[in-house]
Structure 1
C-alpha cells in the first residue's frame, strides 16, 4: 500500500506539565495484516486524561510508557485489508490502536460498530469508555436515589456530562462544576443540570454552598484538589463518592487533602474504579444510553482537532481544560 503510517511517540517522560517537546512524530511503513488479522485505517483518536498518568514512570494500574513508545489510546477506524471472515473490508471498528494512522489487530481486540445506530465517533465518547465510565461510576458506586443531590466535577466533559444527565433521568438534583461561564451555561441550559458552579469565579465557595442547600449525597469526582476539598466539606451522612479521576494533580505536586475527617464523620464511601476491569458491564450500559440518545434524553458534544499531528497540542489543551466536550482527533475522512 502506498503512503506512510504516521505515529506519535512519547519522546521523554514529562517533568510537570506536558509540552509538545515530550512527543515525537515519526513516519513508518504501513503494516501488513498477518493470519487472523485486519488492517485498520484509523479515523478518530480519543484523547483522555488517563494518558497523562501513563507518561510517568511510576506504579499504576497499567504499565507506564518508556521513551520511544507509541502513545496508546482508543480509536475508531475502518477495515481496509482483512484476513478475518467476520471483519470484511469496509467494516467500522473500535479498539485501542493508539496514536497512529494505521494498525493491525485481531478480531477479539475490536468492537464492530453500526454507523446506522449512532455516529461512529460516539464509540469514543458517550457510547464508549467515557460514557460507560460515567454510567458505571454513578449507578454502581454512587447509587443515586430520586430527590438526592448529585454533584459532578468537570461537568461539561465527556464523563461528567453523562453522569449529570443520567442523574437527572433518575430524578436527582444535579449540580455541576466547570471552568468558565460558557461551559456552565451549556451544562444548565443544554444538558438540564439544576445548577453549575464556575470554579474560576472568585465566589466559588459561596456559590457552591448556595447551590447545595441539602448538602451532597453523591459526588462524582473527576478533578481532585481544591474542588474535592470543597465538596467533601458538604457531604451528607452516608454519601457516596465514585473516584474517577484527579486531573488537577496529574501535572504537579499532590494536593495536601485534609478531608479525611469528613469521610469519617459522615461515614462516606469513597471508591476508585477503572472501567476496563468491568467489561461485562459495557453492552448493557451502551444499549441503555443509545436508547436515551434516541429519545432525546442524553446529549453530547465533541471537540475535534484536525490531523494526527495536532494530537499533542490537543492533549495538552485537554489537561488544561481548554476542550469543550469529548476531545477527539480526526485522523482521516470517514469514507475512503
Structure 2
C-alpha cells in the first residue's frame, strides 16, 4: 500500500484516479503515515517506539534509525544544522587509537566554511590518542573547532577539549584534571605517597630504617622516574594544544596547563563551567549555548538508548563515535 500523507477527518473522503474511496479516520491515516513501504517509521523520541525498534528489528536497522534520529536533532539546531557534527560518546571505555581512527574517518573530508563540532562524553583514557583526535579536528576544520560537553569529559577527554576554539558547557558539564593513570592509579599519587612516607619518617625517626627497608624492596626507581615523565608529557601535550588559541584569560600557557595537570588533588575532581571559564576565559568557554542544549539532548537520547539496549539486547552496551553507532558486550 502506498502511504497517504496529510490528515483527514471522519467526514472527509479520499479520491484515487478520480474515484471516491471510503473515508478514512484520522487514526487510520496516522497508522498509514507511519508505514514506509513495508517498513515502519520509528519516532525515537517516543519510548514505546524505541523499545519496539529494539525488539523487532536487527542491529543494522537499529543503528540506521539511531543515526537518523541524531541527524534529526542536529537539523533542528540553527547553530549546528549547516556544519559538520560528529560524536565521541563512549562513557564505558577509555579513549584509544580506535576512537581516533573513527573520528578521522568521519571528518577527513573538510567542507568549506564549515565549523567542526564534536559532542563529547568520555571518562578519559590515553593522552596520546586524545591529543591526536584534537589535532585531527584542528587540521580538518574549515571554520571553528567546537567541543560540546553536555556531561563528563574527564582526564584525557579534557585534554582533547583544550584544542577547541570554543568549549560549550552548562550546568551538567564536567571537565577534570589531566592526570594520567597507570594500573588504575593516578600517576601523581606516587610522588605524593613518597612525600607522605618522608614526612612520617621525619616525624617518627625511630621508624626511618623500617620505611627505608620497605621502600628498597617495594619501589623500582626507574618506574618512579617514568611516572614523572608521564606527568610532564601530559603538561606538554596541554601546552601544545593551548598555544594556538587566543589567550582571553591573560594567563601564561604554562600556568594554564599546570592548572589542569598538577593543581587538583583528586583525579575525579569536577571542573565545572565556572571553573573552566576562570581558567580558560569566556572567549573559549561558552555557557548554556544552543550547542550545549543540542549536546544535552543527544546525550540524553543515547543514555536512554544504552539502558534500553542493555535491557533488550542481552546486556549489550553502546558507543557512538564519529557518525556510527556500535553495540558490544563487555569482556569479563
TM-score range, shorter chain: 0.3 to 0.5
Q: Flag the structure with higher strand content.
A: 1
Query: What TM-score comes out, normalization by structure 2 length?
Result: 0.34
More helix by share: 2
TM-score with structure 1 length normalisation?
0.34
Please say which structure displays the higher CA radius of gyration.
2
